[in-house]
Amino acid sequence: MEPVTRIQTAFRFEAELLERMKWEAKKRNISLNKLVEDAMEQAFRPELPAFSTETPISDEIRQLHCLELKRPTEEEFAADPRLEYLWKKHVDY
């Protein structure tokens, strides 16, 4: 997987919104930047299925490294977009 190029940007938010965003980032144990990036990614990639990020699953998937996971077929990915998203995000990283 190619490295991702990140470009520094600046945004202005209302003070109350910024405080809520900071609180949410702290609650999820992620950076404010990651929270904004995730929200923007979800907003501008509507083909991804909506699902809660309240329950992190990445640790569970990473613990499966000892198993020989068989990559799902393209048909299986097409039938389950969430599976494809999670596989590509956490297994094919």
- Cα radius of gyration rounded to whole Å, the chain: 16
**Predicted structure pTM score:** 0.47
Cα separation of 93 and 71, whole Å? 13
Domain boundaries, the chain: 13-46, 52-93
89 contacts: CB under 8 Å, gap ≥ 6 = 58
For the ranges 1-10, 24-33, 44-53, the lowest mean pLDDT is seen at 44-53
pLDDT, one tens digit per residue, over 43-54 is 777 665 665 656
The DSSP string of 17-48 is HHHHHHHHHHHHTS-HHHHHHHHHHHHH-TTS
